[in-house]
Structure 1
């Protein structure tokens, strides 16, 4: 059972449990209301209402497991689990895989695979995405298993406290071996377009980069995102004249024999566990298609 436990300090003696949950545990009003309705809040093993007056040294427990359903069919699709605990699961998404069902892709998604995994491992969870990736971008994605973890990590994401590192292969050689791209990204108001552009009307977007290895006419580049705009790395690198290999939207038509999608991999995540606040540094190996591209470029 996934729970939060806390002993009442003298500071909260004589105060309502609602205040304790908000001030001491930092829980949202929405989470508190949901847990209260489901009778998942206990003091010394007895379910209590929100007007309950606390006494010092009482033991407060919130059961985070909530009976929920989600309109996503479980599908037996292999997933690469990098890290898992009672609150979160971090998976290394394959390239060419949609994260969540859409009108166009109603099955075969990462969410379908996760629903199957949760069912088979007897976990009462729904898919709460903390981060997302484009269909053709591979790498690490955080999924929360309960409302509390999702709330905490979404807050950290908004504050840019989750460090997201990518590896990519670009055409040409970057002018500097490391630097920062600080250019606003804008979505043109054209019907049906998903393409973004550099435009002063856009949101401020910041990408830090470092060249890891140089090849004859290409670079292997690490990117650290300070902001998380749609297509940010792809737009920023293309704007400098260094589009990503395989990126047909912002670059060139490539030989599909070399790579059939943009060579972009979310290889690293650094963040704190929502419950223990322990620092997690998670890494995913470069996928086979990008490794083959690197070998091809080394041999040119």
Structure 2
């Protein structure tokens, strides 16, 4: 892993980059002169040809891939659209969430259509009529989450209040999907300034959501690629953007 100004490179080759995006940094530029600092532009100061393929919410940290050519961008975009790219997230949610309705692999499922809440952008909401199909798989991790080195480092930030550690596997990639789906269970992600109560926001100095695993077939070599990026939910050294405003998967 190579560290640059406020982001780290997990993987670099002639065709693509895999990055560890810090929390509280936009993936792409937002609206307004004060919202131009973002991961894509920081990366492009080193690799001018790099193109964003997918996004993470500003408040979310973790793995993000960028293409180094238009052809690779097209191939990766098609793989995301076909759900051939697999992602895992680790989250700490408010309260004690019991595991329910397990499938054969130990996952529970949230199936709730989502739509952007336009009068309250950038928020999203569940809408059974107009919402787009949205599916999230989740499972509770053992209390000793340090036993999962691919997700959390031993020194991860553990809230003082009651909480549950989850592994999340989004099947679809709607805006704020994980945050809205978990809020719908009555267990919003700790430190969520958009969907959490004041008590929730006091649990952590940042949103405790991190993209910890990314798996795909390399668009040029055909090799099966997997990257793991554990987190301690550290607070970024600075917050380049004053508030959230990015609509992203």
TM-score with structure 1 length normalisation? 0.65
Compared CA separation, residues 161 and 113, structure 1 to 2 (3 A): same
Q: The residue matched to 2:71 in structure 1 has which SS?
A: helix
2:209 paired residue number: 264
2:223 paired residue number: 278
| Deviation of 1:126 (Å) | 2.3
Report 1 or 2 for greater relative contact order, CA contacts < 8 Å, sequence distance ≥ 6.
Answer: 2
- Paired residues of 1:171 and 1:242 also in contact (CA < 8 A): yes
Whole-angstrom distance in 2 between the partners of 1:258 and 1:195: 21
> Structure 1 residues 159-168 or 207-216, which shifts more?
207-216
Whole-angstrom distance in 2 between the partners of 1:261 and 1:126: 31
- Paired residues of 1:247 and 1:253 also in contact (CA < 8 A): no
2:155 paired residue number: none
Q: The residue matched to 1:276 in structure 2 has which SS?
A: coil
Whole-angstrom distance in 2 between the partners of 1:245 and 1:102: 25
Unaligned runs of 5+ in 2: 101-106, 145-160, 236-249
Aligned alpha-carbon RMSD (Å): 2.1
1:132 equivalenced with 2:77 (yes/no):
no
Whole-angstrom distance in 2 between the partners of 1:161 and 1:152: 11
Query: Which contiguous aligned blocks of 4+ residues in structure 1 show a shift greater than 4 angstroms?
Result: 254-258
2:29 paired residue number: 101
TM-score with structure 2 length normalisation? 0.77
Instruction: Specify which of 217, 239, 252 is matched with residue 162 of structure 2.
Output: 217
1:180 equivalenced with 2:103 (yes/no):
no
Trace 1:176-255 onto structure 2 (pairs within 5 A): 176=99, 178-190=107-119, 193-200=121-128, 201-214=130-143, 217-254=162-199
> Residue by residue, what CA displacement relative to the aligned partner does 1:11-60 show, whole Å, maximum 9, x if unpaired?
xxxxxxxxxxxxxxxxxxxxxxxxxxxxxxxxxxxxxxxxxxxxxxxxxx
Which has the higher Rg, Structure 1 or Structure 2? Answer: 1
- Paired residues of 2:192 and 2:200 also in contact (CA < 8 A): no
- Paired residues of 1:129 and 1:142 also in contact (CA < 8 A): yes
1:115 paired residue number: 44
> Residue by residue, what CA displacement relative to the aligned partner does 1:58-106 show, whole Å, maximum 9, x if unpaired?
xxxxxxxxxxxxxxxxxx7243111111110010001111112223344
Unaligned runs of 5+ in 1: 1-75, 119-124, 291-300
More helix by share: 1
